[in-house]
Amino acid sequence: MPAVPEAAELRADARHNRDRIVEVARELFAVRGLDVPMAAIARHAGVGVATLYRRFPTKESLVTEVFADQFGECVSVVDDALADPDPWRGFCAAIEKICTMQAVDRGFSTAFVAAFPDAVDIGHERDRAIRGFAELTRRAQAAGRLRADFVPDDLPLLLMANCGVITASGEAAPAASRRLAAYLLSAFRAEQAGPLPPPAPLTLHDILNSTGAATR
């Protein structure tokens, strides 16, 4: 049997290291959020810090790779909700699925609101999701199902509340998140609407600040 060329062995080893780094980072981010140090990721992946930085020069580049699929999934959630002929059902489905994604993976919601100036594709998908949610809001209100004083900027408030529940509830986080989402959606119904205080001056970036996560 002919020997495997040395260059091929090196390429295979490099691919293995890269895949292992991404796998470990995904696991750690899901449990601990984005504030996991790069050195800890390297240690858990069984590679040197120099190897990690050779594959991913910045934490931003690693986060972008780890959450690429989730960003695509988030856009798909909103697109599916927009395709639903029932605007209220689509709105509820989007809220429930986004909250579930947040409960399953603590790092994703932080990654979603983090500023990634060099990650053009990620920024584009995030903007698509935000615009789609605004359209979901408009349609549900036009159908008379969503309370008129709900604004798209209430989404950060919802996600911050969900983040708090997830952080405090440990292994029960998915169940606690579903319960919270159900309570909130009930309150969002137009027929349940009573007067609300003015919207809070919050943005998606406030979620990032509240968790204290670092992406660099």
14-43 pLDDT, tens digit per residue, is 888 898 999 999 888 877 777 889 999 999
Q: Does 112 share its domain with 207?
A: yes
pLDDT of 12 over the 50 cut: yes
Q: Does 46 share its domain with 138?
A: no
Instruction: Answer yes or no: are the C-beta atoms of 132 and 78 closer than 8 Å.
Output: yes
CA dist 104 and 102 (Å) reads 6
Q: Does 99 share its domain with 52?
A: no
Beta bridge partners of 146: 189
Residue 172 lies in a domain: yes
Residue ending a domain, choose from 34, 65, 96: 65
- Which CATH number goes with the domain that contains 50? 1.10.10
Q: Does 37 share its domain with 84?
A: no
Domain of 12, in residue numbers: 6-65
Q: Does 128 share its domain with 200?
A: yes
Query: pLDDT-based confidence at 193, cuts 50/70/90?
Result: low
Give the count of domains, the chain.
2
pLDDT (0 to 100) of residue 215: 42
70-83 pLDDT, tens digit per residue, is 778 888 999 999 99
Burial (0-12, 13-18, 19+ Cβ within 10 Å), 36: buried
pLDDT of 110 over the 50 cut: yes
CA dist 43 and 179 (Å) reads 37
Helices 106-113 and 6-32 cross at an angle (nearest 10°) of 100
Q: How far is CA 127 from CA 34, 55, 131, 179, 210, in A?
A: 21, 27, 6, 28, 21
Q: Does 12 share its domain with 88?
A: no
Residue ending a domain, choose from 20, 35, 65: 65
CA dist 62 and 9 (Å) reads 24
Residue 94 lies in a domain: yes
- Which CATH number goes with the domain that contains 197? 1.10.357
**pLDDT averaged over the chain?**
81
Stated pTM of the model: 0.70
Residue 86 lies in a domain: yes
CA dist 4 and 156 (Å) reads 53
Q: What percent of the chain is predicted at pLDDT more than 70?
A: 77
Q: Does 22 share its domain with 78?
A: no
Q: Does 153 share its domain with 177?
A: yes
Q: Does 41 share its domain with 94?
A: no
pLDDT (0 to 100) of residue 214: 40
- With a CB cutoff of 8 Å and minimum separation 6, the contacts of 102 are 108, 109, 159, 162, 163, 166, 177
pLDDT (0 to 100) of residue 52: 92
123-173 pLDDT, tens digit per residue, is 677 788 889 999 999 999 999 999 999 998 888 888 888 888 887 888 888
pLDDT (0 to 100) of residue 93: 96
Q: Provide the CA 113 distance to its chain's centre, in angstroms.
A: 8
CA dist 192 and 39 (Å) reads 50
Query: pLDDT-based confidence at 58, cuts 50/70/90?
Result: confident
Q: Does 73 share its domain with 166?
A: yes
pLDDT of 190 over the 80 cut: yes
Residue ending a domain, choose from 65, 95, 110: 65
Instruction: Answer yes or no: are the C-beta atoms of 150 and 188 closer than 8 Å.
Output: yes
- State both tokens at 63: 């986060």
Residue 216 lies in a domain: no
Query: pLDDT-based confidence at 205, cuts 50/70/90?
Result: low
pLDDT (0 to 100) of residue 32: 79
Q: Does 77 share its domain with 160?
A: yes
